[in-house]
Amino acid sequence: MTLSKNKSNLLPIIMMFALFAMISFVTGLSNPIGVICKAQDGIPNWMSQLGNFGNFIAYAVMGLPAGIILKNKGYKFTALTAIGVGIIGVAIQMVSGYMPYAPGDNFIPIFMVYLLGAFVSGFSMCMLNTVVNPMLNTLGGGGKSGNQLIQFGGSLNSMAATIVPILGGALIGTITRETSLRDAIPALQIALVIFLVAFAVLAAVKIPEPGLAKGSASKTKEDHGPMSFRHFVFGTVAIFLYVGIEVGIPNFMNLFLTAPLTPEAGEAAGMGIDPAAAGTVVGTYWFLMLIGRLLGGALGGKYSAKEQLLFVSGLGLILVGTGIFLPKSVTVEMPVFLADISFGFQTVPLSVMLFALCGLCTSIMWGGIFNLAVEGIGKYTEMGAGIFMVMVCGGGILPLIQGGVADVTLSYTASFWVIVAALVYLLWYALAGCKNVNTDIPVE
């Protein structure tokens, strides 16, 4: 792979990789914290996803402003601002952990403070995502090489995501009604330290600013924009659904595994597995995403983004569709990734293992969709990245819908039909929706 003829690009690439990892670590904290919230009185499945929803719905609010900031102020300014906002968001979540609470108390005021922190953190994650994707695509030279670089960056994203549920489960311990958000403070402190270190390092690193150079050359009003391209519009829908798939699968695996075998009336039954053990299963999903992204990066020079997306969408449909119809009584000893960087085995329903294997599929979807959507839109790429960030809110909306389905059907497995519908669209996008039919629009 030719990353660039200019070796000075190496340091910016490493910095973008590090930001990719940080995005995943902070976002992933909503999963174990959601399990804590689910254990409190009056919090159903759909409400347990509101922290995740708050984090991702911020993308809908901040996506376009982030694109504008990136276009006018550049990559480094946008990233530093994002990290500063992230520090504030994590601090607010920590405040919710210090608020006094005991079983039987009203949990809603604490929950609302936590949601505010998750929402503010979402602003930060949105701005960082707006920076790293077009920057890596640009440094890679677009096309197969751009996609390849995004996949390698996504590997570090997956590595951080692998650690979060395992680390969260280990730090928080067994979750009961006595568990409160105070037990999540150690994990949040780690996130805060990561932000502070990242700010100091990024402030000292020189980042290329190709967009600023182009922007200073021309201030004329554009007759077109990213949304003038049909394949880009379809790509925004694809990214909305993809992020919902990526987040929904592990979140509902976790809820299913940790929910009681004999729940109270009106609640879905689960497997009653210890949260730390469930965290290893969820962590394995993210570990498989890491493996998939490494493979995607290695094979990116041989197979196009379209071919990769077509394959993983079809495979994902087979895995999820089969898992839905399997009874939970059919179990298997699943190899899992443990906190001590080793492997062990955990008894889980075969359906859960199939859902976890979807990590291999979701691994390369983001890079593939982004690469296909911005291919051929040239100078509109930076603004397109902002629009893409708006659609990342799917990571909050689809799991919320999935939670509603689980509450109505009293079945965590039935909720995965939401994932099936989303995968069908991605398969269509790979087959036909990604074709650029607006080649007459000037992009230089």
Per-residue pLDDT at 50: 78
**Residue 398 is part of which domain span?**
9-207+226-433
90 CA to centre of own chain? 17
β-pair type (331-337, 343-349):
antiparallel
Task: Please give the structure tokens belonging to residue 160.
Answer: 């951080």
Q: 322-333: per-residue pLDDT in tens?
A: 999 999 899 999
Q: 57-73: per-residue pLDDT in tens?
A: 888 888 888 878 887 88
Question: By C-alpha distance, which of 361, 418, 394, 356 is closest to 129?
Answer: 394
DSSP letter at 227? Answer: G
217, pLDDT greater than 50: no
DSSP letter at 429? Answer: I
Per-residue pLDDT at 208: 72
Q: What average pLDDT does the structure give for the chain?
A: 81
State which amino acid sits at residue 148: Q
412, pLDDT greater than 80: yes
State which amino acid sits at residue 251: N
Neighbouring CB atoms inside 10 A of 408's CB total 12
Q: 66-99: per-residue pLDDT in tens?
A: 878 887 888 889 889 988 998 999 899 889 888 8
| 327/324 Cα distance (integer angstroms) | 8
DSSP letter at 344? Answer: E
Residue 104 lies in a domain: yes
CA dihedral defined by 417, 420, 424, 427, rounded to 10 degrees? 170
Residue 2 lies in a domain: no
Question: By C-alpha distance, which of 34, 33, 57, 56 is closest to 47?
Answer: 34
Residue 443 lies in a domain: no
Residue 374 lies in a domain: yes
Residue 216 lies in a domain: no
Residue 21 sits in a domain whose CATH number is: 1.20.1250.20
Q: 30-51: per-residue pLDDT in tens?
A: 767 776 777 776 677 777 777 7
Question: By C-alpha distance, which of 393, 415, 418 is closest to 27?
Answer: 393
Per-residue pLDDT at 4: 42
Task: Please give the structure tokens belonging to residue 306.
Answer: 């379209």
Question: By C-alpha distance, which of 209, 220, 227, 205 is closest to 69?
Answer: 209
| 112/50 Cα distance (integer angstroms) | 10
Q: Rounded to two decimals, what is the model's pTM?
A: 0.73
- Site of tokens 């053990």: 277
Q: 289-299: per-residue pLDDT in tens?
A: 888 878 877 77
| 119/50 Cα distance (integer angstroms) | 10
* Alpha-carbon separation of residue 367 from 132, 144, 154, 380 (angstroms): 11, 10, 8, 18
Residue 112 lies in a domain: yes
State which amino acid sits at residue 255: L
Residue 439 lies in a domain: no
Total structural domains within the chain: 1
Instruction: Determine if residue 106 is left, alpha or beta; phi over 0 gives left, psi from -120 to 50 gives alpha, anything else beta.
Output: beta
Residue 331 lies in a domain: yes
| 409/442 Cα distance (integer angstroms) | 50
Which of the listed ranges 300-304, 372-376, 417-421 does the model predict with the highest average pLDDT? 417-421
